[in-house]
Amino acid sequence: MSATGTTAFGRFVEQCADPTQGVLVPSVVRRIAILSPVALALLAGCASKPAATGTTPDAAPAVAARPRQDQQLITRDVIVGTQYTNLFDVVQAMRPNWLRTRGSNDSAVADVLQVYLDNQRIGGVNELRNIAPTTVLSLRYYDPIASAARWGMNHSAGVIFVLTSRK
Protein backbone atom coordinates (compact mmCIF):
# COMPACT_ATOMS: atom_id res chain seq x y z
CA MET A 1 0.00 0.00 0.00
CA SER A 2 1.10 3.54 -0.64
CA ALA A 3 1.10 6.42 1.80
CA THR A 4 -2.33 7.53 0.59
CA GLY A 5 -3.84 4.15 1.43
CA THR A 6 -4.54 2.89 -2.13
CA THR A 7 -3.38 -0.41 -3.56
CA ALA A 8 -2.01 -1.04 -7.03
CA PHE A 9 -5.43 -2.35 -8.03
CA GLY A 10 -7.07 0.79 -6.70
CA ARG A 11 -4.70 2.97 -8.74
CA PHE A 12 -5.50 0.89 -11.83
CA VAL A 13 -9.22 1.37 -11.31
CA GLU A 14 -8.73 5.10 -10.78
CA GLN A 15 -6.83 5.34 -14.07
CA CYS A 16 -9.22 3.20 -16.10
CA ALA A 17 -12.63 3.95 -14.70
CA ASP A 18 -14.76 7.03 -14.39
CA PRO A 19 -15.40 7.11 -10.62
CA THR A 20 -18.73 8.87 -11.03
CA GLN A 21 -20.13 6.37 -13.55
CA GLY A 22 -18.30 3.12 -12.59
CA VAL A 23 -17.49 2.37 -16.24
CA LEU A 24 -14.29 2.13 -18.24
CA VAL A 25 -12.94 5.26 -19.87
CA PRO A 26 -13.31 5.23 -23.71
CA SER A 27 -9.52 5.25 -24.26
CA VAL A 28 -9.21 2.01 -22.26
CA VAL A 29 -12.07 0.46 -24.22
CA ARG A 30 -10.25 1.31 -27.47
CA ARG A 31 -7.04 -0.32 -26.20
CA ILE A 32 -8.89 -3.47 -25.21
CA ALA A 33 -10.71 -3.57 -28.57
CA ILE A 34 -7.40 -3.28 -30.44
CA LEU A 35 -5.40 -5.71 -28.31
CA SER A 36 -8.04 -8.45 -27.91
CA PRO A 37 -7.81 -9.80 -31.48
CA VAL A 38 -4.01 -9.74 -31.27
CA ALA A 39 -4.08 -11.67 -27.99
CA LEU A 40 -6.55 -14.20 -29.41
CA ALA A 41 -4.40 -14.70 -32.52
CA LEU A 42 -1.34 -15.33 -30.36
CA LEU A 43 -3.22 -17.82 -28.20
CA ALA A 44 -4.60 -19.61 -31.24
CA GLY A 45 -1.12 -19.83 -32.73
CA CYS A 46 0.29 -21.32 -29.54
CA ALA A 47 -2.50 -23.86 -29.24
CA SER A 48 -2.43 -25.13 -32.82
CA LYS A 49 -0.75 -28.43 -33.65
CA PRO A 50 2.38 -28.56 -35.78
CA ALA A 51 1.96 -29.69 -39.37
CA ALA A 52 1.97 -33.44 -39.85
CA THR A 53 5.10 -35.02 -41.29
CA GLY A 54 5.02 -35.20 -45.05
CA THR A 55 2.27 -32.62 -45.59
CA THR A 56 4.44 -29.94 -47.16
CA PRO A 57 5.48 -30.36 -50.79
CA ASP A 58 9.21 -30.31 -50.04
CA ALA A 59 9.06 -32.69 -47.07
CA ALA A 60 10.43 -36.20 -47.35
CA PRO A 61 7.82 -38.96 -47.32
CA ALA A 62 7.00 -40.22 -43.85
CA VAL A 63 8.34 -43.63 -42.87
CA ALA A 64 5.61 -46.05 -41.86
CA ALA A 65 6.00 -47.18 -38.27
CA ARG A 66 6.51 -50.89 -37.76
CA PRO A 67 3.88 -52.59 -35.65
CA ARG A 68 5.12 -53.11 -32.14
CA GLN A 69 6.17 -56.67 -31.41
CA ASP A 70 4.62 -58.40 -28.39
CA GLN A 71 7.57 -59.14 -26.09
CA GLN A 72 5.55 -61.76 -24.23
CA LEU A 73 4.96 -63.91 -27.34
CA ILE A 74 6.97 -65.97 -29.83
CA THR A 75 4.91 -67.29 -32.75
CA ARG A 76 5.41 -70.18 -35.16
CA ASP A 77 6.16 -67.73 -37.98
CA VAL A 78 9.21 -66.48 -36.09
CA ILE A 79 10.34 -69.95 -34.97
CA VAL A 80 10.14 -71.47 -38.48
CA GLY A 81 12.84 -69.12 -39.74
CA THR A 82 15.38 -70.39 -37.19
CA GLN A 83 17.68 -73.42 -37.05
CA TYR A 84 17.23 -74.20 -33.35
CA THR A 85 16.65 -77.82 -32.33
CA ASN A 86 14.79 -77.20 -29.06
CA LEU A 87 12.63 -74.53 -27.44
CA PHE A 88 15.16 -73.68 -24.76
CA ASP A 89 17.58 -72.48 -27.44
CA VAL A 90 14.77 -70.52 -29.14
CA VAL A 91 13.86 -68.71 -25.92
CA GLN A 92 17.50 -68.15 -24.97
CA ALA A 93 18.19 -66.53 -28.35
CA MET A 94 14.97 -64.54 -28.83
CA ARG A 95 13.76 -63.66 -25.31
CA PRO A 96 16.62 -64.27 -22.84
CA ASN A 97 14.90 -62.10 -20.22
CA TRP A 98 12.20 -64.80 -19.91
CA LEU A 99 14.83 -67.08 -18.35
CA ARG A 100 15.87 -64.60 -15.65
CA THR A 101 14.44 -65.51 -12.27
CA ARG A 102 12.04 -62.98 -10.79
CA GLY A 103 9.65 -63.10 -7.92
CA SER A 104 9.83 -63.62 -4.20
CA ASN A 105 12.91 -62.70 -2.19
CA ASP A 106 11.95 -65.34 0.36
CA SER A 107 14.63 -68.06 0.26
CA ALA A 108 12.09 -70.63 1.48
CA VAL A 109 10.11 -70.22 -1.74
CA ALA A 110 11.73 -71.83 -4.76
CA ASP A 111 11.74 -69.40 -7.67
CA VAL A 112 11.41 -71.85 -10.53
CA LEU A 113 10.07 -70.80 -13.89
CA GLN A 114 7.28 -73.22 -14.75
CA VAL A 115 6.55 -74.61 -18.21
CA TYR A 116 3.07 -75.55 -19.38
CA LEU A 117 2.57 -77.60 -22.53
CA ASP A 118 -0.97 -77.38 -23.92
CA ASN A 119 -2.31 -76.42 -20.47
CA GLN A 120 -0.48 -79.25 -18.66
CA ARG A 121 2.32 -78.38 -16.24
CA ILE A 122 5.40 -80.33 -17.32
CA GLY A 123 8.04 -78.90 -14.98
CA GLY A 124 10.80 -76.33 -14.99
CA VAL A 125 12.54 -74.44 -17.74
CA ASN A 126 14.82 -77.37 -18.63
CA GLU A 127 11.77 -79.18 -20.04
CA LEU A 128 11.96 -76.78 -22.98
CA ARG A 129 15.05 -78.72 -24.14
CA ASN A 130 12.77 -81.72 -24.84
CA ILE A 131 10.34 -79.90 -27.15
CA ALA A 132 11.01 -79.61 -30.88
CA PRO A 133 10.29 -76.16 -32.34
CA THR A 134 8.56 -77.70 -35.37
CA THR A 135 5.56 -78.77 -33.24
CA VAL A 136 4.96 -75.36 -31.66
CA LEU A 137 2.30 -72.81 -32.59
CA SER A 138 3.35 -70.25 -29.98
CA LEU A 139 5.14 -69.59 -26.70
CA ARG A 140 3.88 -66.99 -24.27
CA TYR A 141 5.59 -65.70 -21.15
CA TYR A 142 3.43 -64.88 -18.12
CA ASP A 143 5.07 -62.75 -15.43
CA PRO A 144 4.74 -63.81 -11.76
CA ILE A 145 1.61 -61.73 -11.18
CA ALA A 146 -0.20 -62.94 -14.31
CA SER A 147 0.85 -66.55 -13.75
CA ALA A 148 -0.30 -66.49 -10.11
CA ALA A 149 -3.65 -65.07 -11.21
CA ARG A 150 -4.09 -67.83 -13.80
CA TRP A 151 -2.50 -70.89 -12.16
CA GLY A 152 -2.18 -70.06 -8.46
CA MET A 153 0.38 -68.81 -5.98
CA ASN A 154 3.07 -71.46 -6.65
CA HIS A 155 4.28 -69.60 -9.74
CA SER A 156 6.53 -66.96 -8.19
CA ALA A 157 8.99 -66.95 -11.12
CA GLY A 158 6.44 -66.93 -13.93
CA VAL A 159 5.31 -69.36 -16.61
CA ILE A 160 6.23 -70.14 -20.20
CA PHE A 161 3.09 -71.45 -21.87
CA VAL A 162 3.71 -73.60 -24.95
CA LEU A 163 0.88 -74.20 -27.41
CA THR A 164 1.52 -77.01 -29.89
CA SER A 165 -0.15 -78.03 -33.10
CA ARG A 166 -1.26 -81.38 -31.65
CA LYS A 167 -4.66 -81.18 -30.02
pLDDT digits (tens, 9 = 90+) for 62-84: 555 656 678 999 999 999 888 99
Tally Cβ neighbours within 10 Å of residue 162: 24
DSSP 98: G
Buried b / exposed e along 66-105 (16+ C-beta atoms within 10 A): eeeeeeeebebeebeeeeeeebbebbeeebeebbeeebee
Q: How long, in residues, is the chain?
A: 167
Q: What is the pTM of this model?
A: 0.56
Q: Where are the alpha helices (DSSP H) in 17-165?
A: 26-47, 76-80, 87-94, 144-151
| Contact call for residues 73 and 121 (beta carbons, < 8 A) | no
In the Cβ-directed half-sphere of 82, how many Cα atoms lie within 13 Å? 21
Residues 16-56: tens digit of each pLDDT: 555 555 555 666 556 666 666 666 666 566 555 555 555 55
Domains of the chain: 1-64 (no CATH), 73-164 (2.170.130.10)
What's the CA gap between 138 and 117, in Å, rounded? 10
Torsion of CA 131, 137, 140, 146, to 10 degrees: -110
